[in-house]
Structure 1
Protein backbone atom coordinates (compact mmCIF):
# COMPACT_ATOMS: atom_id res chain seq x y z
CA UNK A 1 0.00 0.00 0.00
CA UNK A 2 1.41 3.42 -0.98
CA UNK A 3 1.69 6.06 1.74
CA UNK A 4 1.19 9.72 0.77
CA UNK A 5 3.53 12.16 2.51
CA UNK A 6 3.25 15.91 2.08
CA UNK A 7 6.13 17.98 0.80
CA UNK A 8 5.55 21.49 2.15
CA UNK A 9 7.76 23.87 0.17
CA UNK A 10 7.83 27.29 1.80
CA UNK A 11 9.04 30.56 0.33
CA UNK A 12 8.86 34.31 0.86
CA UNK A 13 6.29 34.99 -1.86
CA UNK A 14 5.92 37.92 -4.23
CA UNK A 15 3.08 39.99 -5.70
CA UNK A 16 1.26 38.25 -8.56
CA UNK A 17 -0.05 41.54 -9.98
CA UNK A 18 0.46 45.24 -9.36
CA UNK A 19 -2.57 45.51 -7.06
CA UNK A 20 -0.95 42.91 -4.78
CA UNK A 21 2.02 45.13 -3.97
CA UNK A 22 0.38 47.16 -1.18
CA UNK A 23 -1.17 44.23 0.75
CA UNK A 24 2.05 42.23 0.26
CA UNK A 25 4.15 45.10 1.62
CA UNK A 26 1.66 45.58 4.46
CA UNK A 27 2.06 41.93 5.46
CA UNK A 28 5.85 42.27 5.45
CA UNK A 29 5.39 45.26 7.77
CA UNK A 30 3.25 43.15 10.13
CA UNK A 31 0.01 44.87 9.26
CA UNK A 32 1.31 48.43 9.08
CA UNK A 33 0.48 50.01 5.74
CA UNK A 34 3.44 51.55 3.92
CA UNK A 35 3.52 55.27 3.26
CA UNK A 36 2.86 56.39 -0.30
CA UNK A 37 6.58 57.14 -0.69
CA UNK A 38 7.53 53.64 0.49
CA UNK A 39 4.95 52.07 -1.79
CA UNK A 40 6.13 54.14 -4.75
CA UNK A 41 9.73 53.13 -4.09
CA UNK A 42 8.92 49.41 -4.08
CA UNK A 43 6.71 49.75 -7.15
CA UNK A 44 9.50 51.55 -9.00
CA UNK A 45 11.90 48.73 -8.14
CA UNK A 46 9.51 46.19 -9.63
CA UNK A 47 9.09 48.36 -12.71
CA UNK A 48 12.88 48.49 -13.09
CA UNK A 49 13.02 44.70 -13.43
CA UNK A 50 10.11 44.45 -15.86
CA UNK A 51 7.01 45.13 -13.79
CA UNK A 52 6.92 42.25 -11.31
CA UNK A 53 9.26 39.60 -9.97
CA UNK A 54 9.41 36.18 -11.69
CA UNK A 55 9.64 34.54 -8.26
CA UNK A 56 6.08 33.15 -8.10
CA UNK A 57 6.50 31.01 -11.18
CA UNK A 58 9.99 29.94 -10.15
CA UNK A 59 8.81 28.82 -6.72
CA UNK A 60 6.18 26.61 -8.35
CA UNK A 61 8.73 25.11 -10.75
CA UNK A 62 11.18 24.48 -7.92
CA UNK A 63 8.51 22.73 -5.89
CA UNK A 64 7.47 20.59 -8.85
CA UNK A 65 11.09 19.70 -9.64
CA UNK A 66 11.69 18.75 -6.03
CA UNK A 67 8.63 16.53 -5.62
CA UNK A 68 9.36 14.83 -8.95
CA UNK A 69 12.98 14.21 -7.95
CA UNK A 70 11.89 12.71 -4.64
CA UNK A 71 9.31 10.44 -6.24
CA UNK A 72 11.77 9.33 -8.91
CA UNK A 73 14.75 8.88 -6.59
CA UNK A 74 14.01 5.30 -5.61
CA UNK A 75 14.85 6.20 -2.00
CA UNK A 76 11.30 5.87 -0.69
CA UNK A 77 9.56 2.66 -1.63
CA UNK A 78 5.80 2.57 -1.09
CA UNK A 79 5.82 6.35 -0.49
CA UNK A 80 4.48 9.06 -2.76
CA UNK A 81 5.21 12.70 -2.01
CA UNK A 82 2.55 15.29 -2.73
CA UNK A 83 3.55 18.91 -3.25
CA UNK A 84 2.14 21.80 -1.22
CA UNK A 85 3.41 25.38 -1.45
CA UNK A 86 3.07 27.77 1.49
CA UNK A 87 4.18 31.40 1.37
CA UNK A 88 5.19 33.82 4.10
CA UNK A 89 3.71 37.10 2.91
CA UNK A 90 1.06 36.33 0.30
CA UNK A 91 -1.46 33.64 -0.56
CA UNK A 92 -1.32 30.71 -0.33
CA UNK A 93 -0.15 31.47 3.20
CA UNK A 94 1.67 28.74 5.15
CA UNK A 95 -1.23 28.20 7.56
CA UNK A 96 -3.80 27.91 4.77
CA UNK A 97 -1.64 25.33 3.02
CA UNK A 98 -1.36 23.25 6.19
CA UNK A 99 -5.15 23.35 6.47
CA UNK A 100 -5.35 22.05 2.88
CA UNK A 101 -2.97 19.22 3.75
CA UNK A 102 -5.29 18.23 6.57
CA UNK A 103 -8.31 18.32 4.26
CA UNK A 104 -6.42 16.04 1.88
CA UNK A 105 -5.80 13.52 4.65
CA UNK A 106 -2.07 14.23 5.03
CA UNK A 107 -0.81 13.16 8.46
CA UNK A 108 2.93 13.48 7.83
CA UNK A 109 4.98 15.97 5.83
CA UNK A 110 8.49 17.17 5.12
CA UNK A 111 9.06 20.91 5.14
CA UNK A 112 11.64 22.70 3.00
CA UNK A 113 12.25 26.45 2.92
CA UNK A 114 13.71 27.79 -0.31
CA UNK A 115 16.68 29.31 1.50
CA UNK A 116 19.91 27.35 2.09
CA UNK A 117 21.09 28.78 5.43
CA UNK A 118 19.41 28.55 8.82
CA UNK A 119 18.44 31.47 11.00
CA UNK A 120 15.74 31.23 13.60
CA UNK A 121 14.51 34.56 12.24
CA UNK A 122 14.12 33.17 8.71
CA UNK A 123 13.83 29.40 8.30
CA UNK A 124 13.03 29.06 11.98
CA UNK A 125 10.06 31.40 11.62
CA UNK A 126 8.68 29.46 8.63
CA UNK A 127 9.00 26.17 10.53
CA UNK A 128 7.33 27.66 13.61
CA UNK A 129 4.31 28.84 11.64
CA UNK A 130 3.95 25.48 9.91
CA UNK A 131 4.30 23.52 13.15
CA UNK A 132 1.83 25.61 15.12
CA UNK A 133 -0.87 25.00 12.52
CA UNK A 134 0.12 21.35 11.92
CA UNK A 135 -0.13 20.62 15.64
CA UNK A 136 -3.80 21.64 15.53
CA UNK A 137 -4.47 18.72 13.19
CA UNK A 138 -1.94 16.21 14.50
CA UNK A 139 0.22 16.42 11.39
CA UNK A 140 3.82 15.29 11.98
CA UNK A 141 6.42 17.53 10.33
CA UNK A 142 10.04 16.75 9.52
CA UNK A 143 12.00 19.97 8.93
CA UNK A 144 14.90 20.52 6.55
CA UNK A 145 16.72 23.27 8.43
CA UNK A 146 19.51 23.97 5.92
CA UNK A 147 21.33 22.53 2.95
CA UNK A 148 24.22 24.95 2.48
CA UNK A 149 26.80 22.23 3.23
CA UNK A 150 25.42 19.72 0.75
CA UNK A 151 28.15 18.90 -1.82
CA UNK A 152 25.80 19.43 -4.76
CA UNK A 153 24.96 22.93 -3.51
CA UNK A 154 28.66 23.78 -3.34
CA UNK A 155 29.21 22.10 -6.71
CA UNK A 156 26.52 24.26 -8.29
CA UNK A 157 28.06 27.55 -7.22
CA UNK A 158 31.62 26.42 -7.90
CA UNK A 159 30.62 25.39 -11.42
CA UNK A 160 28.88 28.69 -12.10
CA UNK A 161 31.77 30.78 -10.77
CA UNK A 162 34.26 28.81 -12.85
CA UNK A 163 32.06 29.43 -15.91
CA UNK A 164 32.30 33.17 -15.27
CA UNK A 165 36.07 32.91 -14.87
CA UNK A 166 36.33 31.34 -18.32
CA UNK A 167 35.26 34.73 -19.70
CA UNK A 168 37.81 36.68 -17.65
CA UNK A 169 41.42 36.61 -18.94
CA UNK A 170 43.57 34.35 -16.75
CA UNK A 171 46.08 37.13 -16.19
CA UNK A 172 43.27 39.18 -14.61
CA UNK A 173 42.15 36.51 -12.12
CA UNK A 174 44.39 38.07 -9.45
CA UNK A 175 42.47 41.29 -10.00
CA UNK A 176 39.10 39.54 -9.61
CA UNK A 177 37.05 39.62 -6.40
CA UNK A 178 34.34 37.11 -5.54
CA UNK A 179 31.65 38.69 -3.36
CA UNK A 180 29.58 36.08 -1.53
CA UNK A 181 26.39 37.53 -0.10
CA UNK A 182 23.07 36.81 1.57
CA UNK A 183 20.08 38.78 2.83
CA UNK A 184 21.07 40.94 5.78
CA UNK A 185 19.22 40.60 9.08
CA UNK A 186 19.02 42.92 12.11
CA UNK A 187 22.41 42.78 13.80
CA UNK A 188 21.16 42.90 17.36
CA UNK A 189 18.80 39.93 16.94
CA UNK A 190 21.53 37.82 15.36
CA UNK A 191 24.26 38.64 17.89
CA UNK A 192 22.12 38.43 21.02
CA UNK A 193 20.80 34.99 20.07
CA UNK A 194 24.15 33.66 18.83
CA UNK A 195 22.35 32.80 15.60
CA UNK A 196 24.34 30.49 13.25
CA UNK A 197 23.39 32.40 10.09
CA UNK A 198 26.52 34.56 9.60
CA UNK A 199 28.90 31.67 10.21
CA UNK A 200 26.98 29.46 7.78
CA UNK A 201 27.39 32.08 5.05
CA UNK A 202 31.13 32.31 5.79
CA UNK A 203 31.43 28.52 5.76
CA UNK A 204 29.76 28.38 2.34
CA UNK A 205 32.36 30.85 1.07
CA UNK A 206 35.18 28.68 2.48
CA UNK A 207 33.77 25.52 0.91
CA UNK A 208 33.46 27.19 -2.50
CA UNK A 209 36.99 28.57 -2.21
CA UNK A 210 38.28 24.99 -2.28
CA UNK A 211 36.92 24.53 -5.81
CA UNK A 212 37.77 27.76 -7.59
CA UNK A 213 41.09 29.35 -8.66
CA UNK A 214 40.54 32.69 -6.91
CA UNK A 215 42.44 34.07 -3.95
CA UNK A 216 40.25 37.12 -3.33
CA UNK A 217 36.91 36.25 -1.68
CA UNK A 218 34.83 38.48 0.58
CA UNK A 219 31.50 38.07 2.38
CA UNK A 220 28.96 40.88 2.27
CA UNK A 221 25.29 41.48 3.01
CA UNK A 222 22.49 42.94 0.94
CA UNK A 223 18.84 43.98 0.86
CA UNK A 224 18.81 45.28 4.44
CA UNK A 225 15.53 46.67 5.74
CA UNK A 226 15.05 50.32 6.62
CA UNK A 227 14.29 49.98 10.33
CA UNK A 228 16.56 52.67 11.77
CA UNK A 229 18.68 50.03 13.52
CA UNK A 230 21.94 48.37 12.36
CA UNK A 231 21.72 45.32 10.11
CA UNK A 232 24.50 42.86 9.32
CA UNK A 233 27.27 44.64 7.42
CA UNK A 234 29.15 45.44 5.25
CA UNK A 235 26.57 46.05 2.56
CA UNK A 236 27.74 44.71 -0.80
CA UNK A 237 27.77 48.19 -2.35
CA UNK A 238 29.95 49.63 0.42
CA UNK A 239 32.12 46.51 0.28
CA UNK A 240 32.66 46.95 -3.46
CA UNK A 241 33.88 50.52 -3.03
CA UNK A 242 36.11 49.52 -0.11
CA UNK A 243 37.68 46.54 -1.88
CA UNK A 244 38.25 48.47 -5.07
CA UNK A 245 39.92 51.22 -3.07
CA UNK A 246 42.25 48.74 -1.37
CA UNK A 247 42.95 46.24 -4.15
CA UNK A 248 41.93 48.03 -7.33
CA UNK A 249 39.93 44.98 -8.43
CA UNK A 250 39.06 44.99 -12.13
CA UNK A 251 36.30 42.38 -11.88
CA UNK A 252 33.64 41.68 -9.24
CA UNK A 253 31.74 38.38 -9.32
CA UNK A 254 28.61 38.59 -7.18
CA UNK A 255 27.17 35.33 -5.85
CA UNK A 256 24.04 36.07 -3.79
CA UNK A 257 23.93 32.48 -2.61
CA UNK A 258 21.64 33.16 0.32
CA UNK A 259 18.94 33.26 -2.38
CA UNK A 260 17.96 30.48 -4.77
CA UNK A 261 16.10 32.24 -7.60
CA UNK A 262 16.07 35.27 -9.85
CA UNK A 263 13.90 37.82 -8.05
CA UNK A 264 13.78 41.44 -6.90
CA UNK A 265 16.67 41.24 -4.42
CA UNK A 266 18.94 39.82 -7.13
CA UNK A 267 17.62 41.47 -10.27
CA UNK A 268 17.55 44.93 -8.67
CA UNK A 269 19.85 44.89 -5.62
CA UNK A 270 22.63 43.10 -7.52
CA UNK A 271 22.09 43.60 -11.24
CA UNK A 272 21.20 47.27 -10.90
CA UNK A 273 22.58 48.65 -7.64
CA UNK A 274 25.85 46.69 -7.57
CA UNK A 275 26.44 47.30 -11.26
CA UNK A 276 26.02 51.03 -10.68
CA UNK A 277 28.86 50.87 -8.14
CA UNK A 278 31.04 48.77 -10.47
CA UNK A 279 30.50 51.35 -13.22
CA UNK A 280 31.30 54.09 -10.71
CA UNK A 281 34.68 52.58 -9.75
CA UNK A 282 35.53 51.38 -13.24
CA UNK A 283 35.25 47.62 -12.64
CA UNK A 284 33.42 44.88 -14.55
CA UNK A 285 30.23 43.46 -13.06
CA UNK A 286 29.58 39.70 -13.22
CA UNK A 287 26.85 37.50 -11.73
CA UNK A 288 26.30 33.79 -12.35
CA UNK A 289 22.72 32.56 -12.89
CA UNK A 290 20.75 31.58 -9.81
CA UNK A 291 20.04 27.89 -9.08
CA UNK A 292 16.30 27.94 -9.92
CA UNK A 293 15.59 24.30 -10.93
CA UNK A 294 19.11 23.18 -11.82
CA UNK A 295 19.52 19.44 -11.06
CA UNK A 296 22.49 20.06 -8.73
CA UNK A 297 20.42 22.42 -6.60
CA UNK A 298 17.36 20.17 -6.52
CA UNK A 299 19.64 17.20 -5.83
CA UNK A 300 21.20 18.99 -2.86
CA UNK A 301 17.79 19.35 -1.22
CA UNK A 302 16.87 15.73 -1.98
CA UNK A 303 20.13 14.62 -0.38
CA UNK A 304 19.38 16.69 2.72
CA UNK A 305 15.87 15.25 2.93
CA UNK A 306 17.38 11.77 2.87
CA UNK A 307 19.37 12.73 5.97
CA UNK A 308 16.25 13.56 7.99
CA UNK A 309 13.66 11.16 6.60
Structure 2
Protein backbone atom coordinates (compact mmCIF):
# COMPACT_ATOMS: atom_id res chain seq x y z
CA UNK A 1 0.00 0.00 0.00
CA UNK A 2 1.44 3.34 -1.08
CA UNK A 3 0.39 6.00 1.44
CA UNK A 4 0.36 9.80 1.33
CA UNK A 5 -0.26 12.37 4.06
CA UNK A 6 -2.61 15.25 3.25
CA UNK A 7 -2.53 18.39 5.39
CA UNK A 8 -5.75 20.38 5.08
CA UNK A 9 -6.09 24.07 5.87
CA UNK A 10 -8.67 26.81 5.39
CA UNK A 11 -6.58 28.97 3.06
CA UNK A 12 -6.01 32.71 3.04
CA UNK A 13 -6.07 35.40 0.33
CA UNK A 14 -2.68 36.54 -0.96
CA UNK A 15 -3.86 39.61 -2.85
CA UNK A 16 -7.02 41.77 -2.87
CA UNK A 17 -8.31 40.14 -6.05
CA UNK A 18 -8.49 36.82 -4.17
CA UNK A 19 -11.16 38.10 -1.81
CA UNK A 20 -14.18 37.74 -4.09
CA UNK A 21 -13.62 34.04 -4.99
CA UNK A 22 -12.42 33.34 -1.44
CA UNK A 23 -15.54 34.72 0.24
CA UNK A 24 -17.78 33.20 -2.43
CA UNK A 25 -16.28 29.78 -1.66
CA UNK A 26 -16.74 30.27 2.09
CA UNK A 27 -20.39 31.19 1.43
CA UNK A 28 -20.90 28.04 -0.67
CA UNK A 29 -21.22 29.85 -3.99
CA UNK A 30 -23.20 32.85 -2.78
CA UNK A 31 -21.53 35.96 -4.17
CA UNK A 32 -20.95 38.61 -1.48
CA UNK A 33 -22.45 42.06 -1.78
CA UNK A 34 -20.23 45.04 -2.51
CA UNK A 35 -20.61 46.16 1.11
CA UNK A 36 -19.63 42.73 2.49
CA UNK A 37 -16.56 42.69 0.27
CA UNK A 38 -15.63 46.22 1.37
CA UNK A 39 -15.87 45.24 5.05
CA UNK A 40 -13.68 42.17 4.55
CA UNK A 41 -11.15 44.13 2.50
CA UNK A 42 -10.87 46.69 5.31
CA UNK A 43 -10.15 43.94 7.82
CA UNK A 44 -7.36 42.44 5.74
CA UNK A 45 -5.97 45.91 5.05
CA UNK A 46 -5.92 46.58 8.80
CA UNK A 47 -3.79 43.51 9.58
CA UNK A 48 -1.32 44.14 6.75
CA UNK A 49 -2.26 40.96 4.88
CA UNK A 50 -0.97 42.04 1.48
CA UNK A 51 2.59 42.77 2.63
CA UNK A 52 2.99 39.91 5.12
CA UNK A 53 4.51 36.83 3.49
CA UNK A 54 4.24 34.87 6.75
CA UNK A 55 0.44 35.21 6.69
CA UNK A 56 0.28 34.37 3.00
CA UNK A 57 2.43 31.24 3.24
CA UNK A 58 1.42 29.91 6.67
CA UNK A 59 0.12 26.61 5.29
CA UNK A 60 3.31 25.96 3.33
CA UNK A 61 5.44 26.66 6.42
CA UNK A 62 3.34 24.32 8.56
CA UNK A 63 3.59 21.61 5.91
CA UNK A 64 7.40 22.02 5.84
CA UNK A 65 7.63 21.62 9.63
CA UNK A 66 5.31 18.61 9.66
CA UNK A 67 7.16 16.96 6.79
CA UNK A 68 10.44 17.38 8.66
CA UNK A 69 9.01 15.93 11.87
CA UNK A 70 7.59 12.90 10.07
CA UNK A 71 10.66 12.47 7.85
CA UNK A 72 8.56 11.55 4.83
CA UNK A 73 8.37 12.79 1.24
CA UNK A 74 4.73 11.93 0.55
CA UNK A 75 3.28 15.08 2.15
CA UNK A 76 0.65 17.15 0.36
CA UNK A 77 -1.11 20.39 1.27
CA UNK A 78 -4.58 21.50 0.21
CA UNK A 79 -6.88 24.37 1.04
CA UNK A 80 -10.62 24.36 1.53
CA UNK A 81 -11.18 27.79 -0.03
CA UNK A 82 -8.06 28.61 -2.05
CA UNK A 83 -5.76 26.94 -4.59
CA UNK A 84 -4.07 24.45 -4.19
CA UNK A 85 -7.60 23.05 -3.80
CA UNK A 86 -8.53 19.71 -2.32
CA UNK A 87 -9.56 18.55 -5.79
CA UNK A 88 -6.13 19.49 -7.15
CA UNK A 89 -4.32 17.74 -4.30
CA UNK A 90 -6.29 14.51 -4.65
CA UNK A 91 -5.64 14.48 -8.39
CA UNK A 92 -1.89 14.88 -7.74
CA UNK A 93 -1.95 12.10 -5.15
CA UNK A 94 -3.76 9.77 -7.54
CA UNK A 95 -1.41 10.61 -10.42
CA UNK A 96 1.58 9.79 -8.18
CA UNK A 97 0.12 6.32 -7.64
CA UNK A 98 -0.87 6.52 -3.98
CA UNK A 99 -3.70 4.23 -2.91
CA UNK A 100 -4.09 5.40 0.69
CA UNK A 101 -4.35 8.84 2.27
CA UNK A 102 -4.16 9.91 5.91
CA UNK A 103 -5.67 13.39 6.27
CA UNK A 104 -5.29 15.88 9.09
CA UNK A 105 -6.87 19.32 9.41
CA UNK A 106 -5.02 22.21 11.05
CA UNK A 107 -7.94 22.71 13.45
CA UNK A 108 -7.17 20.76 16.67
CA UNK A 109 -10.85 20.30 17.66
CA UNK A 110 -13.57 18.55 15.68
CA UNK A 111 -16.74 20.42 14.83
CA UNK A 112 -19.38 19.70 12.22
CA UNK A 113 -18.81 23.06 10.50
CA UNK A 114 -15.03 22.99 10.89
CA UNK A 115 -13.27 19.67 10.30
CA UNK A 116 -16.61 18.22 9.25
CA UNK A 117 -16.64 20.49 6.18
CA UNK A 118 -13.31 19.07 5.02
CA UNK A 119 -14.53 15.56 5.73
CA UNK A 120 -17.67 15.96 3.64
CA UNK A 121 -15.78 17.49 0.74
CA UNK A 122 -13.15 14.74 0.80
CA UNK A 123 -15.80 12.04 0.62
CA UNK A 124 -17.41 13.83 -2.32
CA UNK A 125 -14.12 14.17 -4.23
CA UNK A 126 -13.03 10.59 -3.55
CA UNK A 127 -16.13 9.14 -5.20
CA UNK A 128 -14.19 9.64 -8.44
CA UNK A 129 -11.23 7.67 -7.04
CA UNK A 130 -12.61 4.28 -5.90
CA UNK A 131 -9.12 2.77 -5.63
CA UNK A 132 -7.97 5.29 -3.00
CA UNK A 133 -8.79 4.74 0.67
CA UNK A 134 -8.84 7.69 3.04
CA UNK A 135 -8.66 8.09 6.81
CA UNK A 136 -9.31 11.42 8.50
CA UNK A 137 -7.85 12.35 11.87
CA UNK A 138 -10.83 14.20 13.29
CA UNK A 139 -9.08 15.89 16.22
CA UNK A 140 -5.60 15.99 17.76
CA UNK A 141 -5.88 18.40 20.69
CA UNK A 142 -5.47 15.65 23.29
CA UNK A 143 -1.73 15.24 22.74
CA UNK A 144 0.85 16.34 25.35
CA UNK A 145 2.61 18.71 22.97
CA UNK A 146 -0.59 20.70 22.45
CA UNK A 147 -0.92 21.25 26.19
CA UNK A 148 2.77 21.93 26.72
CA UNK A 149 2.82 24.68 24.10
CA UNK A 150 -0.10 26.56 25.63
CA UNK A 151 1.05 25.89 29.20
CA UNK A 152 4.51 27.34 28.52
CA UNK A 153 3.13 30.39 26.72
CA UNK A 154 0.63 31.06 29.47
CA UNK A 155 3.18 30.67 32.23
CA UNK A 156 5.45 33.17 30.45
CA UNK A 157 2.60 35.70 30.60
CA UNK A 158 2.54 35.65 34.42
CA UNK A 159 -1.15 34.65 34.58
CA UNK A 160 -1.34 34.65 38.39
CA UNK A 161 -0.59 38.37 38.58
CA UNK A 162 -3.14 40.33 40.59
CA UNK A 163 -6.04 41.88 38.65
CA UNK A 164 -5.35 39.60 35.65
CA UNK A 165 -8.19 37.84 33.83
CA UNK A 166 -7.32 34.93 31.52
CA UNK A 167 -9.80 34.31 28.72
CA UNK A 168 -9.62 31.07 26.73
CA UNK A 169 -11.32 31.21 23.34
CA UNK A 170 -12.17 28.99 20.39
CA UNK A 171 -14.17 29.55 17.23
CA UNK A 172 -17.89 29.71 17.80
CA UNK A 173 -20.18 27.34 15.90
CA UNK A 174 -23.92 27.38 15.13
CA UNK A 175 -25.83 26.10 18.16
CA UNK A 176 -27.50 23.44 16.01
CA UNK A 177 -24.10 21.85 15.27
CA UNK A 178 -22.36 21.92 18.67
CA UNK A 179 -22.21 18.16 19.29
CA UNK A 180 -19.18 17.26 21.45
CA UNK A 181 -17.23 20.34 20.35
CA UNK A 182 -18.06 22.51 23.36
CA UNK A 183 -17.25 19.74 25.85
CA UNK A 184 -13.89 18.98 24.20
CA UNK A 185 -12.87 22.65 24.13
CA UNK A 186 -13.91 23.10 27.76
CA UNK A 187 -12.01 19.96 28.75
CA UNK A 188 -8.85 21.30 27.12
CA UNK A 189 -9.10 24.77 28.66
CA UNK A 190 -9.70 23.17 32.07
CA UNK A 191 -6.55 21.09 31.69
CA UNK A 192 -4.40 24.06 30.66
CA UNK A 193 -5.77 26.18 33.50
CA UNK A 194 -5.03 23.40 35.97
CA UNK A 195 -1.47 23.02 34.66
CA UNK A 196 -0.66 26.66 35.43
CA UNK A 197 -2.60 26.86 38.68
CA UNK A 198 -5.42 29.16 37.57
CA UNK A 199 -8.26 29.18 40.08
CA UNK A 200 -10.44 31.55 38.09
CA UNK A 201 -10.62 32.02 34.34
CA UNK A 202 -13.15 32.55 31.55
CA UNK A 203 -14.20 30.57 28.47
CA UNK A 204 -15.36 32.52 25.43
CA UNK A 205 -16.33 31.88 21.82
CA UNK A 206 -15.30 34.16 19.00
CA UNK A 207 -15.51 35.04 15.32
CA UNK A 208 -19.13 33.94 14.81
CA UNK A 209 -20.91 34.85 11.58
CA UNK A 210 -23.27 37.85 11.83
CA UNK A 211 -26.37 35.71 11.30
CA UNK A 212 -28.12 32.79 13.00
CA UNK A 213 -27.71 31.43 16.52
CA UNK A 214 -24.10 30.78 17.55
CA UNK A 215 -22.45 29.28 20.61
CA UNK A 216 -21.68 31.85 23.31
CA UNK A 217 -20.81 33.75 25.36
CA UNK A 218 -18.93 35.94 22.88
CA UNK A 219 -15.40 37.00 23.68
CA UNK A 220 -16.52 40.64 23.63
CA UNK A 221 -19.13 40.03 26.34
CA UNK A 222 -16.71 37.98 28.42
CA UNK A 223 -14.11 40.75 28.30
CA UNK A 224 -16.73 43.24 29.44
CA UNK A 225 -17.70 40.93 32.31
CA UNK A 226 -14.05 40.46 33.34
CA UNK A 227 -13.62 44.23 33.44
CA UNK A 228 -16.76 44.57 35.57
CA UNK A 229 -15.29 41.90 37.85
CA UNK A 230 -12.31 44.16 38.41
CA UNK A 231 -9.70 42.96 35.93
CA UNK A 232 -7.05 45.50 34.99
CA UNK A 233 -5.16 43.17 32.67
CA UNK A 234 -6.77 40.86 30.09
CA UNK A 235 -4.80 37.91 28.69
CA UNK A 236 -6.44 36.31 25.65
CA UNK A 237 -5.66 32.65 24.94
CA UNK A 238 -7.13 31.76 21.52
CA UNK A 239 -6.11 28.12 21.86
CA UNK A 240 -8.83 26.85 19.53
CA UNK A 241 -6.81 28.34 16.65
CA UNK A 242 -3.32 27.45 15.40
CA UNK A 243 -1.98 30.46 13.53
CA UNK A 244 -2.00 34.18 12.95
CA UNK A 245 -4.78 35.16 10.57
CA UNK A 246 -7.63 37.65 10.33
CA UNK A 247 -9.70 36.09 13.14
CA UNK A 248 -6.76 36.55 15.51
CA UNK A 249 -5.08 39.70 14.20
CA UNK A 250 -8.36 41.58 13.68
CA UNK A 251 -10.98 39.99 15.94
CA UNK A 252 -8.60 39.73 18.91
CA UNK A 253 -5.86 42.26 18.38
CA UNK A 254 -8.05 45.09 17.10
CA UNK A 255 -11.64 44.57 18.31
CA UNK A 256 -10.83 42.98 21.68
CA UNK A 257 -7.87 45.27 22.28
CA UNK A 258 -10.07 48.31 21.71
CA UNK A 259 -12.63 47.11 24.27
CA UNK A 260 -9.91 46.50 26.86
CA UNK A 261 -7.90 49.66 26.30
CA UNK A 262 -10.98 51.90 26.11
CA UNK A 263 -11.74 50.68 29.63
CA UNK A 264 -8.25 51.70 30.78
CA UNK A 265 -7.01 48.11 31.15
CA UNK A 266 -4.07 46.27 29.54
CA UNK A 267 -4.57 43.85 26.65
CA UNK A 268 -2.28 40.88 25.98
CA UNK A 269 -2.63 37.89 23.69
CA UNK A 270 -0.56 34.73 23.76
CA UNK A 271 1.58 34.06 20.63
CA UNK A 272 0.04 31.70 18.13
CA UNK A 273 1.89 28.44 17.37
CA UNK A 274 2.06 28.97 13.60
CA UNK A 275 4.80 26.49 12.61
CA UNK A 276 6.19 25.98 16.12
CA UNK A 277 7.97 22.61 16.23
CA UNK A 278 6.69 21.58 19.67
CA UNK A 279 3.11 22.36 18.71
CA UNK A 280 3.35 20.70 15.30
CA UNK A 281 4.66 17.58 17.03
CA UNK A 282 1.12 17.11 18.38
CA UNK A 283 -0.09 16.77 14.79
CA UNK A 284 2.85 14.54 13.86
CA UNK A 285 2.11 12.29 16.84
CA UNK A 286 -1.52 11.93 15.80
CA UNK A 287 -0.42 10.99 12.27
CA UNK A 288 2.12 8.43 13.49
CA UNK A 289 -0.51 6.85 15.73
CA UNK A 290 -2.89 6.51 12.79
CA UNK A 291 -0.22 5.10 10.46
CA UNK A 292 0.97 2.57 13.03
CA UNK A 293 -2.39 1.46 14.40
Q: TM-score range by the shorter chain?
A: over 0.9
SS in 1 for 2:196: coil
- Please say if residues 100 and 134 of structure 2, whose CA atoms lie closer than 8 Å, have aligned partners that are also in contact: yes
Is the CA contact (8 Å cut-off) linking 2:235 and 2:269 kept in structure 1? yes
Partner of 1:196: 180
Q: 2:153 aligns with which of 145, 152, 160?
A: 160
- Please give the residue correspondences for 1:1-309 in structure 2 after superposition, counting only pairs within 5 Å: 4-52=2-50, 54-71=54-71, 80-137=72-129, 138-165=131-158, 173-190=161-178, 195-227=179-211, 229-245=212-228, 247-309=229-291
Instruction: Give 1:81 shift.
Output: 4.3
Report if aligned partners of 1:5, 1:81 keep a CA contact under 8 Å in 2: no
* Correspondence for 1:76: none
- Return closer, same or farther for 1:24/1:116 CA change in 2, 3 Å cut-off: same
**Deviation of residue 135 (structure 1)?**
4.1
| 1:4-53 deviation per Cα after TM superposition (whole angstroms, max 9, x unaligned) | 52111101111121101111111111111111111100000001001447
Counterpart contact for 2:111–2:177, Cα < 8 Å: no
Residue 140 of structure 1 and its aligned partner are, at CA, apart by 1.5
Output one character per residue of 1:142-181: Cα deviation in whole Å (capped at 9) or x when no partner: 221111111110000010011111xx7x6xx242111111
- Residues of 2 paired with 1:104 and 1:199: CA distance? 40
CA RMSD of aligned residues (A): 1.6
Change (3 A) 1:298 1:239: same
Distance of 2:6 and 2:290 partners within structure 1: 15
Q: Following the alignment from structure 1 to structure 2, what is the Cα–Cα distance between the partners of residues 114 and 211?
A: 24
- Cα shift at 1:244: 1.3
Q: State the distance in 2 between where 1:203 and 1:135 align.
A: 36
Q: Is the 8 A contact 1:278 1:285 kept in 2?
A: yes
How many angstroms apart in 2 are the aligned matches of 1:142 and 1:122?
17
| Change in 2 beyond 3 A, CA 1:104/1:56 | farther
Unaligned segments of structure 2, at least 5 residues: none
Preserved contact between residue 222 and residue 235 of structure 1 (Cα < 8 Å): yes
Cα distance in 1 for residues equivalent to 2:73 and 2:163: 48
Instruction: Name stretches of at least 5 consecutive residues in structure 1 with no aligned partner.
Output: 72-79
Q: Is the 8 A contact 1:99 1:133 kept in 2?
A: no
- SS of residue matched to 2:146: helix
For residues 76-117 of structure 1, give each alpha carbon's deviation from its aligned partner in whole angstroms, at most 9, with x where no partner exists: xxxx44121111111111122111110111111210100000
Distance 2:49 2:7 in 1: 25
